[in-house]
Amino acid sequence: MKLTEDWLSVIIGFGIIIVAVLGVLQPGWFAF
Amino acid sequence: MTTTTAQPSAEKKNTAGFFIGLAVVIVLCFVTRYFYNIVKPMTLPGGIPGKVLEYPIWAAVIGLIFNWVFKKTNVHERLTPGFKTELFLKVGLILLGGKVSFKVLATAAGGAIIQGIIMVTCVYFFSWWLAGKFGLPDTLRAVMSTAVSICGVSAAIASAGAVLAKKEEITYVTALVIVTALPLMVIAPLIARAMDMPEAVAGAWFGGNVDTTAAVVGAGTIYGETAETIASIVKQTQNVLIGVVAFFLAYYFVAKEGEGERPSLSIIWQRFPKFVLGFILASLLFTFGVISKDNTSYKVIQNIKAWFFCAAFVCMGLELSVAEFKKMGWNPVIVYLIVTLFNTLLALGISYLIFGWLFPVNL
């Protein structure tokens, strides 16, 4: 199955959510 | 022999273009953040507070400036593979889902479904009829009507596949969508503010009226947090309708031409924007407390979301092109602008009716 941009966005999005929930990242690093 | 050696070299060039283009987008995001934070506390000429210039405006303007620079220096085409507007936007929307409770999502989506069905039907058929009066070819009518009634670029691509439109018709409509959506992203929040519109109504209006999801989110972000959320939900609900419209279009064109395969219902799933599932799942994680406002994860996710949205807005500016207009003449532009005006006024009335009265949303 070809990895579409739609599914890729789901993978990246949830990758970020999982890492954030695990507490690895600090909010200050990404302050906009 | 030439083809076998030329192909890997083109692929290599494409990969290099992707990484360099991506690096350029990241740098421009930092430039956006720099200007946004510098100007935010300032008072601009005429007493205008600097915070009015929200980051989507900076991002789009900086994208436009560098679009011009890259075209003048003949490097634009090489960098284009890295300008992934849709991908950045979709990731941002999934992360946005991490702050929307399922109750809000369900209430807003309920209103958005009614709004979407009314808007898509009225705007689609008005656009189809008007484009016919201006003598546009059926394939261009179909692509343009889907783009203006549902969701700009991705809808244009989906419908183009269904009606077998020409490639230049897609690029043309895509250019039209971005050229009108960019100014609307800035003007719509200004009008909403002048009308003192409640945030939920304004969000629904942006979602129903502005043509690309990126510009919808941009307009919502400029207006306020609630507007950003409601605008995103309304637009995503409309996006879900892409598959249904693509199915009916394919059916109509096959019936009209009398040849080709009958489309199957699987087209609805094929065209279903899968990232919406990610948005819903993220919203469930927030609803069940996995992502909580009291934890750092919430802030981290929302901060990263702003970077992805910023990248999408920068890319919007970088991708703008008006060269296509010369090829097809101005008739389609006139049709598109009239339909956009119709879309704007209709969406205004319906948003007030649905989100101001039938489905008021309190965040």
Cβ(B218)–Cβ(B56) under 8 Å?
yes
Task: Check if B38 contacts A (Cβ < 8 Å).
Answer: no
Cβ(B25)–Cβ(B82) under 8 Å?
yes
Number of Cβ within 10 Å of residue B297's Cβ equals 24
**% of residues, chain B, pLDDT over 70:** 94
Cα distance between residue B359 and residue A3, in whole Å: 37
- In the prediction, which pLDDT does B25 show? 97
What are the chain A neighbours of B36 within 8 Å (beta carbons)? Answer: 32
Task: pLDDT band for B8, please (50, 70, 90 cuts).
Answer: low
Task: pLDDT band for B71, please (50, 70, 90 cuts).
Answer: very high
Task: pLDDT band for B166, please (50, 70, 90 cuts).
Answer: confident
Higher pLDDT, B161 or B108: B108
Cα distance between residue B318 and residue B40, in whole Å: 24
What are the chain A neighbours of B86 within 8 Å (beta carbons)? Answer: 5
Average pLDDT, stretch B93-119?
A: 87
> Considering only CA atoms, which of B81, B24, B14, B278 is closest in space to residue A12?
B278
Residue B220 is encoded by which pair of tokens?
Answer: 């919502």
- Relative to beta strand B48-49, strand B43-44 is antiparallel
A contact set with B (CB within 8 A): 4-10, 12-14, 16-17, 20-21, 23, 25-27, 29-32
Å between A27 CA and nearest CA of chain B: 4
Average of per-residue pLDDT values in chain B: 86
Å between A2 CA and nearest CA of chain B: 12
pLDDT at B93 over 80: yes
Cβ(B175)–Cβ(B261) under 8 Å?
no
- In the prediction, which pLDDT does B86 show? 86
Which tens digits make up the pLDDT trace of B188-228?
999 999 999 999 999 999 998 888 888 899 999 999 999 99
- In the prediction, which pLDDT does B22 show? 96
pTM over 0.90: no
- In the prediction, which pLDDT does B342 show? 94
Residue of A nearest to B285 (CA): A17
Task: With CB atoms and an 8 Å threshold, state whether A13 touches B86.
Answer: no
Cα distance between residue B240 and residue B220, in whole Å: 20
Higher pLDDT, B289 or B240: B289
Task: pLDDT band for B64, please (50, 70, 90 cuts).
Answer: very high
Task: pLDDT band for B268, please (50, 70, 90 cuts).
Answer: confident
Local structure of residue A3 (DSSP, 8 states): -
Taking the domains of chain B in order of start, what are their residue ranges? 92-358
Which tens digits make up the pLDDT trace of B34-49?
999 999 888 877 777 7
- In the prediction, which pLDDT does B301 show? 94
Cβ(B235)–Cβ(B114) under 8 Å?
no
pLDDT at B23 over 90: yes
Task: pLDDT band for B142, please (50, 70, 90 cuts).
Answer: confident
Task: With CB atoms and an 8 Å threshold, state whether A30 touches B300.
Answer: yes
Task: With CB atoms and an 8 Å threshold, state whether A16 touches B273.
Answer: no
Local structure of residue A32 (DSSP, 8 states): -
Residues 311-350 of B with CB under 8 A from A: none
Task: With CB atoms and an 8 Å threshold, state whether B278 touches A8.
Answer: no
- In the prediction, which pLDDT does B257 show? 63
Q: Tell me how far CA of residue B24 lies from CA of B34, B62, B153, in angstroms.
A: 15, 12, 23
- In the prediction, which pLDDT does B36 show? 92
pLDDT at B300 over 90: yes
pLDDT at B259 over 70: no
Higher pLDDT, B131 or B325: B131
**% of residues, chain B, pLDDT over 90:** 41
Task: pLDDT band for B2, please (50, 70, 90 cuts).
Answer: very low
